[in-house]
Every structure is written in C-alpha cells, then in structure tokens.
Amino acid sequence: MSTTPAMSTGGCLCGGVRYAVRGALRDVIACHCSQCRRTSGHHVAASGAPSANITLLKSDTLAWYSSSDRAERGFCSRCGGNLFWRPTTGERAWTSIMAGTLDPPTHLKIRQHIFVADKSDYYTIADGVPQTAGDST
C-alpha cells in the first residue's frame, strides 16, 4: 500500500524481540489452517515483506520452530508471542510478519482469508473479504 510508511517497527509483548521493516508491507492475509490455529490460539493475520528488508533490532528471546517440512515460525521464548513465518525451502526470500506485532498505525487491511476449509467451528468469517479453501492464489 502506498500509505505504508517507509519504515515500520514491531515486536513481541515482553520486548525481547524488536524488528524494523524497510519499505512497503504486504496487506494482511488471514490464515485459518491448523498450524496457524495451534500456534496463534485462533487464526493468524499476517503481513509480510522481503526478508532482506527486515532488520532484527533485538532478538535475545527469538526462537524458531519447524512447523512443517517447508516452513518455520519465529516466536518469543519468553512471552510466547508469535512473530514470524518463513519458508525453509529455497532462499528464504520472504518473511511473513504477524500483523498484531506491528506498531500501529499499520495502514494495512485484511485482503484475503486462506485455508478456510481448515478453520475451527466456533466463529464465522463475515467481513466480506475474499476467501479461499486452501492456499493464497
């Protein structure tokens, strides 16, 4: 989005992890897959940026968990905050950033719901944003 500031910052609840992102952030994709459900406690809402644009300002408590054979998730080992998702295949050129960890205002919008076929049954997606049963297109 053109309204995204040139530099964005964010971090976890306890402050053990802080990061800065240069340039535009992707609009938010909400992922309802089982892995996102179980790590976030609900569904994930993730922005993201080229990995090269992300600088870790503080990473004392940052830990990575291999959540599948093709991706890993960055979280704070002290406060438990979910921060990042990145593919472990290829060049790791992309990092998704959990949108709630960005310092507001983000000027972002949710643009898509993905893996809605895997969502849990206790909520309804009713925001009018496009949905796909599986991966983003």
Among 33, 46, 62, 99, binds Zn ion (CB under 5 A): 33
**Torsion, CA 114, CA 91, CA 93, CA 44, rounded to 10:** 30
The single-letter DSSP state of residue 47 is: E
Q: Does 62 bind Zn ion (CB under 5 A)?
A: no
Residue 28 binds Zn ion (CB under 5 A): no
Q: Is 31 in the site for Zn ion (CB under 5 A)?
A: yes
Give 53 or 63: the residue with its C-beta nearer to Zn ion.
63
Does residue 100 interact with Zn ion by CB under 5 A? no
Strands 28-31 and 110-114: parallel
Positive or negative, the Cα torsion across 123, 107, 72, 135?
Answer: positive
Nearer to Zn ion, 67 or 107 (CB): 67
Nearest distance from C-beta of residue 15 to Zn ion, angstroms: 6
Residue 71 in the binding site for Zn ion (CB under 5 A): no
Alpha-carbon separation of residue 15 from 12, 18, 59, 94, 120 (angstroms): 5, 6, 9, 23, 31
Q: Which is nearer to Zn ion, 5 or 123 (by Cβ)?
A: 123
Only segment of 20-28, 46-54, 72-80, 101-109 that touches Zn ion (CB under 5 A): 72-80
> Is residue 46 near Zn ion by the rule CB under 5 A?
no
Of 12, 22, 107, the closest CA to residue 60 belongs to 12
